[in-house]
Amino acid sequence: MRDVAKLAGVSPMTVSRVVNDDPTVNEALRLRVLKAVDQLRYRPNMMASHFRRRDRRSFTIGFLMPDVANPFFAEVQRAVQELARAHNCDLLSATVDDDGEREKGVIDRLLGRRVEGLILISTTKDHGYLQADVMSGLAVVFLDQPPAFLAADSVVADNRKAAGRAVRHLMTGGHRRIAYLGYLQSAWTNQERYQGYCDALRTRWVPLDPRLVRQDLVTSEMAERATRELLAEENGPTAVFSAWSRSTIGAIKALRNAGRQDATALVGFDDFDAAGLLDPGVTVVAQDPAAFGRLGGEILFRRLGGDRSPMTQHVVRTSLVKRGSGEIPGPYAGPRRTEPRAPSMVFSNR
Amino acid sequence: MRDVAKLAGVSPMTVSRVVNDDPTVNEALRLRVLKAVDQLRYRPNMMASHFRRRDRRSFTIGFLMPDVANPFFAEVQRAVQELARAHNCDLLSATVDDDGEREKGVIDRLLGRRVEGLILISTTKDHGYLQADVMSGLAVVFLDQPPAFLAADSVVADNRKAAGRAVRHLMTGGHRRIAYLGYLQSAWTNQERYQGYCDALRTRWVPLDPRLVRQDLVTSEMAERATRELLAEENGPTAVFSAWSRSTIGAIKALRNAGRQDATALVGFDDFDAAGLLDPGVTVVAQDPAAFGRLGGEILFRRLGGDRSPMTQHVVRTSLVKRGSGEIPGPYAGPRRTEPRAPSMVFSNR
DNA sequence: ATGAAAGCGCTAACAG
DNA sequence: CTGTTAGCGCTTTCAT
C-alpha cells in the first residue's frame, strides 16, 4: 500500500479511500491511484483490514457437516454458499465425519479465524461450549439436528411426523410386519424417525417386534446384510422402512438379490437421484436440502444484521413421494381401489 | 491477550509463547497462563498472528468448482479437505457455476485473503492473470481441466483415450450408428471426449454423421429431449455415448420412455451412485474423483513445501465398468462368444 | 478533499 | 527463561 501511495504520489490514506470506494476522493487522484494499484498488482490485505476496522467484520462464515460427499449435505452447502455470496461473505467449509472431537477442534479454529457466523450440521450432544461466543455476538444456526444445551436457531425436518406418515402409508397398503432400518442410534434424526415408526405402529395397534428393528447401519453394505437376514427369517417383514438414504440403497440391493423387489414394499427417508429411475420406482420421504441451507443462511444473516428476537426452531416439511415401491400391497390389503403402483413409463424425480 | 497477561501476571510475550507451544516457558508460568486463557475465554486471533508472523502463513487454501451439488465435485472437495486437514489448513470453498466473471471475482477475493494455495476446477479459457501471483509463490493446481496461458500443475483424466475406448467398445458390440450426447462445447473435457468419439469412428472407418451429435446438453432434461428426438428419427442410433453424468440420466429416461432400454446400447462418461442398481446396469467410464482431490492436494502442498520442479500435468486413468447397457449387441454383432450382458442379480458399483 | 498520527493483536529480534 | 521494543498493513480520528 505504501508503494502504491508513493507511486501515485499520495498518502496511504488516499489509497485506502480509493480501494474502499470512498466517494470523497478527487477523481484525478482516484485514477492515478488505480493506475498505480494496477501497475504494482496491489491487492488489499483483507486480514489487515479486518483486524483494524472498527466493526471487526471478517466476511467469513463457517460451515460444518458430517460429509460433503453425501449429496444431501452437498446440496445444503450449495445453498449456504449462495446465501453467503449474496451477503458478500466467503465460506470456510469442513467435513467432520461424525467425530465430536474433531468437530470441536474445527469450531475452535474457525472462531480463531473470527468467522462472523457458524452453520452447523452437528451430530454431537452438547453445544454448551458455544454459549459465551453466542452471548458476545457470534451467530450460530443448526441444521438438520437441533442444538443441545445451547439457545440457538435451528432448521430441522418434521422427522417424526414424516416417518409416522410413511409407516402408516405402508400399513394402509396392507402391511403389518414392517422392518425398520436405522442409522446411528445416537443420532437425533434417527431417534425421531424411530419414534415416528413406533407412533405409527401404536396408532394401528400393531405390536412392535424388536426382531424387525435394525439400528446403527452406517453403510449401505450393513443395511444390505441386515435386509438379507430379515428376508431369510421365518415370518420376516413384508415391508421395509429405511431411515436414511444409504440404508435404502442397501435394502434395494438385498431385495433384488433375493428377487423380492416386487413383493416387499419399501419406503426410504431421503430422496436420491436415481429413485425415480429404478424399477419399481422408490417411494421416499423427500426432504429439501436446499431449503435447509437457504433458511439457515437467511436466519444467520438476519441475526448478523442485528435481529435479537427469540431463537427459533424452524421445521421444514417433507413430502411422501410415491413411486411404486411403497405401494406394493401387503397381506392385509383390502380390495384394490386404484392401481397398486404407477405405470413404469412415468418417471418423476422430486 | 493483554488481559490474559495481566491476569496471569506475565507479559503478553509469554502468553504468545504459551499459546504457540514454545517449549522454553516455565511450567508454572505456563499453567498460570493457561488458567487465565481459560478464565477469560481468550482465543488467539489468527488474523493478527498471520499478519505479523514472518512466514506470512494463513493456513488457508481456496477451492473453486462449478457446483458442489454435483456429486463428482463434492467427492473432490472431500478429498481436498482431507489433505488440507492433514496439513493443518482450512478450506475456503466456492461454487462458481461455469461463470467466468464470477470465478475471477472469487479468485480475487481469495487472494485478498492471502490463501496459500488455490485448487481450481475451472471452466474458463485464460488463467494468465494468475501469472504474477504464481511467480511470487502462490501455489495453484488445476483439476479436471488444464490451465490456459499459465504454467501450473494440473490433474486431468485421459478423457480422449477413455471416450475412444468406450466408443470402440460399442462398435465391437456391433454398433455403427452411435449418438454423441455432449456437454458445453466450450468445455475442454467435452472437446476431448468428442475427439475420442471421432477417433474411434475413424479407426473403424465409420463416417461421422453430424445428425447423431448433440452438444450443449447442460441439463438431464435437455439430454432426454435430444435422445427422444434421436430415437424418433428414421435411421436413428443403435447406441448412445453420453459424455457426462447428467446427460446419461437424461438418456436413460428417454430410452425407458421409448421402451428401448434393452435394445439401444448406452455408455456414459462418469460413474453415478445408482448405475449398478438400474436395469440394465449402466456401463460407464468411471473416473475417480477422490484421486483428483488427493493428487491435487498432494501436489499443492508439495509446492508449498518448497518443491520447485517443473510443472506437471498428471493424468489419472479411468476404467470402463461394464454393467450391461454397453453390452447390448448392435446390428453388426458377430456370433456371440459370451453372454451379451451380465446376469441381473449381480450388482457392482465401482 | 487530503494527510499525519495512532493503534488494532500479535510476534521477531534482541536485551536482560 | 522472560520482558521490551518495534512494526506487520490497514483504518480511525482528527487536523489541515
Q: How far is the C-alpha of A73 from the C-alpha of A82, rounded, in Å?
A: 14
Determine how many CB atoms are found less than 10 A away from the CB of residue A261: 22
Instruction: Supply the pLDDT for residue A273.
Output: 85
Protein-nucleic contacts, chain A 5-24 to strand C, CB < 7 Å: 10-14, 17, 24
Strand partners, A213: A180
Instruction: Note the strand D nucleotides within 7 A of protein beta carbons.
Output: 1-5, 7-13
CA distance B206 to chain A (A): 33
Task: Pull the grid cell for residue A277.
Answer: 429411475
Is the model's pTM score more than 0.95?
no
| DSSP assignment string, B93-132 | EEE-TT-HHHHHHHHHHHHHTT-SEEEE----S--GGGHH
B69: pLDDT strictly greater than 50: yes
B348: pLDDT strictly greater than 70: no
pLDDT tens for A294-319 read: 999 999 999 999 999 999 999 999 99
First vs last Cα of chain B: how many Å apart?
A: 52
Burial of B181 (0-12, 13-18, 19+ CB in 10 A): buried
Q: How far is the C-alpha of A257 from the C-alpha of A113, rounded, in Å?
A: 51
Among B68, B274, B278, beta carbon nearest to A68: B68
Walk across the sheet containing A283-286 and list its strands.
Answer: A213-214, A178-181, A239-242, A265-269, A283-286, A319-321
Is the CB of residue A45 inside 7 Å of nucleic acid strand C? no
Amino acid at A137: G
Instruction: Supply the pLDDT for residue A336.
Output: 61
CA distance B284 to chain A (A): 15
Q: How far is the C-alpha of A154 from the C-alpha of A121, rounded, in Å?
A: 10
Chains A–B, number of C-beta pairs less than 8 Å apart: 143
Determine how many CB atoms are found less than 10 A away from the CB of residue A221: 13
pLDDT tens for B205-215 read: 999 999 999 99
Strand partners, B284: B268, B321
B350: pLDDT strictly greater than 50: no
pLDDT tens for A70-124 read: 999 999 999 999 999 999 999 999 999 989 999 999 999 999 999 999 999 999 9
Strand partners, A60: A90
pLDDT tens for B13-60 read: 999 999 999 999 999 999 999 999 999 999 999 999 988 888 889 999
pLDDT band at A335 (very low <50, low <70, confident <90, very high): confident
B346: pLDDT strictly greater than 70: no
Please judge whether A257 and B347 are an interchain contact, meaning their C-beta atoms are less than 8 angstroms apart. Answer: yes
A190: pLDDT strictly greater than 50: yes
pLDDT band at A348 (very low <50, low <70, confident <90, very high): very low
Instruction: Supply the pLDDT for residue B333.
Output: 86
Kindly calculate the radius of gyration of chain B based on its CA atoms and give it in whole angstroms: 26
Distance B57 CA to D4 C1' (A): 26
Closest-approach residue (CA) in chain A for B90: A92
C-alpha distances in Å from residue A139, one per residue of A92, A114, A135, B99, B286: 15, 11, 9, 30, 42
Residues A218-229, mean pLDDT to the nearest whole number: 97
Is the CB of residue B48 inside 7 Å of nucleic acid strand C? yes
Instruction: Supply the pLDDT for residue A63.
Output: 98
Question: Worst-scoring range by mean pLDDT, A74-78, A113-117, B192-196, B336-340?
Answer: B336-340
Among A47, A108, A274, beta carbon nearest to B113: A47
B90: pLDDT strictly greater than 50: yes
Residues A129-135, mean pLDDT to the nearest whole number: 93
Contact assessment for residue A135 and residue A112, using Cβ atoms and an 8 Å cutoff:
no
Relative to beta strand A319-321, strand A283-286 is antiparallel
Q: How far, in whole angstroms, is CA A277 from its chain's centroid?
A: 23
Q: How far is the C-alpha of B202 from the C-alpha of A297, rounded, in Å?
A: 52
Instruction: Supply the pLDDT for residue B35.
Output: 94
Please judge whether A112 and B51 are an interchain contact, meaning their C-beta atoms are less than 8 angstroms apart. Answer: no
Query: Which residues on chain A are in Cβ contact (under 8 Å) with B279?
Result: 279
Closest residue (Cα, C1') to D8: B52
Task: Pull the grid cell for residue B172.
Answer: 465391437
pLDDT band at A18 (very low <50, low <70, confident <90, very high): very high
Burial of A348 (0-12, 13-18, 19+ CB in 10 A): exposed
Query: How high is the mean pLDDT of chain B?
Result: 93
A341: pLDDT strictly greater than 80: no
B180: pLDDT strictly greater than 90: yes
Distance A210 CA to D10 C1' (A): 65
Q: What are phi and psi of B204, to 5 degrees?
A: -105, 15
Instruction: Supply the pLDDT for residue B336.
Output: 61
Secondary structure class of A247 (helix, strand, coil):
helix
pLDDT band at B344 (very low <50, low <70, confident <90, very high): very low
B347: pLDDT strictly greater than 50: no
Burial of B237 (0-12, 13-18, 19+ CB in 10 A): buried
C-alpha distances in Å from residue B208, one per residue of B179, B217, B242: 10, 19, 16
Residues B88-96, mean pLDDT to the nearest whole number: 97
pLDDT band at B337 (very low <50, low <70, confident <90, very high): low
pLDDT tens for B244-276 read: 999 999 999 999 999 999 999 999 999 998 899
Instruction: Supply the pLDDT for residue A122.
Output: 96
Contact assessment for residue B324 and residue B171, using Cβ atoms and an 8 Å cutoff:
no
Contact assessment for residue B347 and residue B275, using Cβ atoms and an 8 Å cutoff:
no
B343: pLDDT strictly greater than 50: no
Is the CB of residue B1 inside 7 Å of nucleic acid strand C? yes
What's the farthest any 2 CA atoms get from each other in chain A? 90
pLDDT band at B305 (very low <50, low <70, confident <90, very high): very high
| DSSP assignment string, B256-287 | HHTT-TTTSEEEEES--TTTTTSSSBPEEEE-
Instruction: Note the strand C nucleotides within 7 A of protein beta carbons.
Output: 1-5, 7-13
Closest C-alpha among B251, B246, B244 to residue B225: B251
pLDDT tens for B110-154 read: 999 999 999 999 999 999 999 999 998 899 999 999 999 999 999
Amino acid at A328: I
Locate the DSSP E strands across B151-300. 153-157, 178-181, 213-214, 239-242, 265-269, 283-286
Locate the DSSP E strands across chain B. 60-65, 90-95, 117-120, 139-143, 153-157, 178-181, 213-214, 239-242, 265-269, 283-286, 313-316, 319-321
Question: b/e per residue, B91-115, with b = 16+ CB within 10 A?
Answer: bbbbbbebeeebbbebbebbbbbbb
Q: What percentage of chain B exceeds 70 in pLDDT?
A: 96
Secondary structure class of B324 (helix, strand, coil):
strand
Closest C-alpha among A81, A126, A148, A133 to residue A289: A81
Q: How far is the C-alpha of A141 from the C-alpha of A130, rounded, in Å?
A: 12
Contact assessment for residue A135 and residue A311, using Cβ atoms and an 8 Å cutoff:
no
